[in-house]
Homo-oligomer: A and B are copies of this chain.
Amino acid sequence: MPEKTSTFTLEKTVTALWEKKRFGSLRDLLATLQPVQIAGLLEGLPEETRPILFRLLSKEAAAETFVEMDAELQEALIRGLTDKELKAIVDEISMDDAADLVEEMPANVVHRILQQATPEARRTINELLRYPEDSAGSIMTTEFVGLKPSDTVAEAIALIRRTGNERETVNTCYVIDSGRKLIGVASLRAILRADDSALIETVMQSRVISVSTLDDQELVAHTLQEYNFDALPVVDAENRLVGIVTVDDAIDVLEDETSEDIAKMAAITPGDKPYLRTSVFDIWKNRIPWLLLLMLSATFTGIIISRFEDALSVCLALTAFIPMLMDTGGNAGSQASATIIRSLSLNEIDFSDLPRVLWKELRVSVLCGGMLAVCTFAKALLFDRETVAVASVVSLTLIITVIIAKLVGCSLPILAKKIKIDPVVMASPFITTIVDALSLLVYFTFASRILGI
């Protein structure tokens, strides 16, 4: 990453300037950086230098940098700032960022923050905090451009020029009636193109795609992505406009969702901190319950083997094929489950598609299983020098295992979603454990029928 390298050498420069007390040059240097770069820089510096460096930033840059820091750094910095400096930040950051801050800080810091906020800001923050976690209401911002249908284009442009600086986006403006009900959207582009005297109600589109405050944030993000909008209006139960969700917040929601899905697919409870900053104990806590659970289920496979110990002792060669059968079944199953889990989360398929999915996976599994079985049969005969009977048992088991694995792998995520369980839980480790047991049962059944043991 180019940024990482540049921040790295930057740190040295900043430290050098700092040691020489060249604060003027430091201020000039910081003014050339993006907020996210300054936040990264502050993180790498000793705690006592941070407030001083922070004071070298312009009011606007300070607020933007503050928002880019993580909670720990914010807390440490707030402790080093005066009330007046804190107020400057609280006044400058957007309401959704302020609400996030209040949610993450310990009680005494929250008290200081709310003391510095204006009564109006305090009210907005408290309202935002009332929405359930991960809802549209909890990620929206209340700073949108609201127009009246009777405004002229000239009036609208004047309003945007006056207040646009405090809004999250000016690309799309929202038209509300006297009861604050959302009646239309007008893109800035359409407004700019229209005549000065035209009324906003003639410029706006009256079909509006909106979400409700209680909708899940993932639905909001996917809707934004689907329609290629740069913001989505959020309305309450009476269709009153209460906020907007912008596309940059939607990207973060989608990326967090991906991280969570990947963690769950690998049987880990998702954490909320970057890996290197998660403590060993927390990592352990996120992983060990799943390992225990899966180990417990794997013992069923052990019980099946114990029950067939006699068969194995008669034909020890069968034991050598167990890992290959288990691994292939597990892999075939996770291929199907991963594909279906992703299609479910992209809303490409739903419960009504189950028969089509099963039919498709059945055909794929016959093709895959057939090819693997032929290879295994040849290898068992020619390379392992097994008898035709043993080779047949192994290849027949393999084809049945692959079919079972694919059918179980594709249907469990769909069924899970139907009964409101996160389909991602039905990923590789879970499928593997089920398929292991089933494939061993098939194996020993074929062994006793064909080999007569």
Contacts and interface: CB of A to CB of B under 8 A. Distances in A.
Contacts of A339: 263, 266, 268, 275, 283
A19 interface: no
A419 interface: no
A320 interface: yes
Contacts of A334: 266-267, 428-429
Query: What copy number does this chain have within its complex?
Result: 2
Contacts of A209: 34
Interface stretch (A80-88, A109-117, A158-166): A158-166
A225 B252 contact: yes
Interface in A284-308: 284, 287-288, 290-292, 294-295, 298-299, 301-303, 305-306
A237 interface: no
A137 interface: no
A120 interface: no
Contact of A338 (B230, B263, B288, B384): B263
A270 to B, nearest CB: 10
A295 B375 contact: yes
B319 A259 contact: no
A433 interface: yes
A352 to B, nearest CB: 10
Interface residues of A, number: 121
A207 interface: yes
A320 to B, nearest CB: 4
A406 to B, nearest CB: 9
**Residue of A190, A247, A323, A350 with highest tally of chain B CB at under 10 A:** A323
A36 B266 contact: no
A20 interface: no
A57 interface: no
Interface of A: 1, 3-4, 32-34, 36, 157, 160-161, 164-165, 167, 169-171, 188-190, 192-193, 207, 209, 219, 223-230, 247-248, 250-252, 254-255, 258-259, 261-263, 265-268, 274-276, 280-281, 283-284, 287-288, 290-292, 294-295, 298-299, 301-303, 305-306, 309, 312-313, 316-317, 319-324, 326-328, 330-332, 334-335, 337-343, 346-350, 353, 356-357, 360, 363-364, 367-368, 371-372, 375-376, 379, 384, 402, 428-429, 432-433, 436, 440
